[in-house]
Amino acid sequence: MQGIKTLGQFIIEKQNDFPYAKGELSRLLRDIGIAAKIVNREVNKAGLADILGSAGTTNIQGEGQQKLDVFANTQFISALTSGGECCIVATEEEDEFVPIDSPVSKNAKYIVCIDPLDGSSNIDVNVAVGTIFSIYRRKSVDGVATLQDVLQKGTQQVAAGYVIYGSSTMMVYTTGKGVNGFTLDPSIGEFCLSHPDMKIPQNGNIYSINEGNYVHFPTGVKKYIKFAQEEDAGSNRPYTSRYIGSMVGDIHRNLIKGGIYIYPTTASSPNGKLRLLYECNPMAFIIEQAGGVASDGFNRILDIEPTELHQRTSIFIGSPDMVKVAEDFMVEFSSEKNNPLNHAINLNGTAVAS
Ligand code: P6P
């Protein structure tokens, strides 16, 4: 296969970036890739099989579970169990973390936090949905892994990625040495390297936010939205509003074209809607590795100390210059003046992560 590099070949090739790696992380990423291909098959035929619609159950978030939510959750847990490299799975679809207690997993050193199918309300209307995952090394050295092994800051991630089931299916991931994208070639059933060394544009003109919540947004967010809508040719405004109700889809587009995705506090989500461990941390790791930034409006997402499994946070994520302007509005118009931002745009406009 001239010129094609599969995900498996790439993972093994990059394994040398980790001199002490004995292949466990490589096998873990392979296991996630396998489950993603199985989920992709079901998502792609959702309109045909009796797999559309509600499962008739709700998750701890109080959200109605779609049949595909439950299917995807089962597939990822099954793949991670049989792969033997993971000792705990923390998933949006389970109230508590899932200990992986199988003969092959007893010495497993990795924790996986996952949103098996994000944006699943879009499935029935054929809009892109995604899987988001985050990988940590367990902190405890022996015995049974516990919740404390899961509640780690985003800076402790060893890998993070997402799968977008869209016009094509892609897997985008980082192990802390840049971001690479792989497109599934259905004719050979392999994810193939299609977007090497992905970088988010420093600036952009796309803003992604559910303006239906405008009335209850923090003042700083309202000010940013009005800023985005002003006429100013010099700064390429008014910006374009693009929001599809699927975090993976919106952030993937903004990663490629430049842009900002904002999910702030709202009346129904006073702490923000998106979950820190398996949505915001992985996306923040990926976007930072691609040259972007991610905060809660005041503090870097990756520095937030988790205290509970399904903890939520606001998120401002994307092109550094756009996020910085939004954060400036948040600081100027919010009571919360503490927590100076952990990053700044230096004089030549390059984001400088602390
Ligand atoms: P709203 C999907 O439920 C999700 O978690 C993200 O994928 C998406 O960006 C957001 O919530 C949509 O939420 O309140 O705008 O419908």
**For the chain, counts of helices (H) and of strands (E):** 8, 19
* Cβ neighbour number for residue 191 with a 10 Å cutoff: 25
119 CA closest ligand 1 atom index: 2
Distance 30 CA to ligand 1 centre (A): 28
118 CA closest ligand 1 atom index: 7
Cα–Cα distance measured from residue 190 to residue 194, given in angstroms and rounded to the nearest whole number = 12
Report which of 128, 291, 268 is spatially closest to residue 204, judged by C-alpha positions: 291
- Whether the bond into 238 is cis, omega within 30 of 0: yes
**Structure confidence at residue 64 (pLDDT):** 67
- Token digits for 179? 């971001």
Q: What confidence tens digit (pLDDT) does each residue in 171-191 have? A: 999 999 999 999 999 999 999
* Cβ neighbour number for residue 199 with a 10 Å cutoff: 13
| Residue entry with tokens 């070639």 | 185
Residue 15 has pLDDT above 70, yes or no: yes
Question: Which residue, by CA, sits nearest to atom 1 of ligand 1?
Answer: 245
Report helix, strand and coil shares of the chain as percent, to nearest 5: 35, 25, 40
Report which of 120, 331, 114 is spatially closest to residue 220, judged by C-alpha positions: 331
**Structure confidence at residue 52 (pLDDT):** 62
Distance 33 CA to ligand 1 centre (A): 24
Residue type, 35: A
With a CB cutoff of 8 Å and minimum separation 6, the contacts of 20 are none
Q: What confidence tens digit (pLDDT) does each residue in 232-241 have? A: 999 999 999 9
Average pLDDT of the chain is 89
Ligand 1 near 69 CB (within 6 A): no
Cα–Cα distance measured from residue 101 to residue 249, given in angstroms and rounded to the nearest whole number = 34
> For the chain, what percent of residues have pLDDT higher than 70?
89
End-to-end CA distance of the chain: 42
Ligand 1 near 115 CB (within 6 A): no
58 band by pLDDT with thresholds 50, 70 and 90: confident
**Structure confidence at residue 339 (pLDDT):** 41
338 band by pLDDT with thresholds 50, 70 and 90: very low
Contact 326, 222 (CB under 8 A): no
57 band by pLDDT with thresholds 50, 70 and 90: confident
Domains of the chain (ranges, CATH numbers):
7-195 (3.30.540.10), 206-353 (3.40.190.80)
261 CA closest ligand 1 atom index: 9
Question: Which residue, by CA, sits nearest to atom 14 of ligand 1?
Answer: 210
Distance of CA 105 to the CA centre of its chain: 25
Residue 268, classified by CB atoms within 10 Å of its CB into exposed (0-12), middle (13-18) or buried (19+), is: exposed
What is each CA distance from 171 to 66, 92, 162, 185, 312, in whole angstroms?
22, 19, 6, 12, 24
Average pLDDT over residues 141-156: 93
Ligand 1 near 246 CB (within 6 A): yes
**Structure confidence at residue 50 (pLDDT):** 61
250 CA closest ligand 1 atom index: 9
| This model's pTM is above 0.85 | yes
| Dihedral of the alpha carbons of 77, 83, 87, 88, in degrees to the nearest 10 | -20
User: Which range among 57-66, 89-98, 271-280, 306-315 shows the weakest confidence by mean pLDDT?
Assistant: 57-66
Q: What are phi and psi of 86, to 5 degrees?
A: -120, 135
**Structure confidence at residue 16 (pLDDT):** 77
Distance 322 CA to ligand 1 centre (A): 21
Average pLDDT over residues 75-86: 94
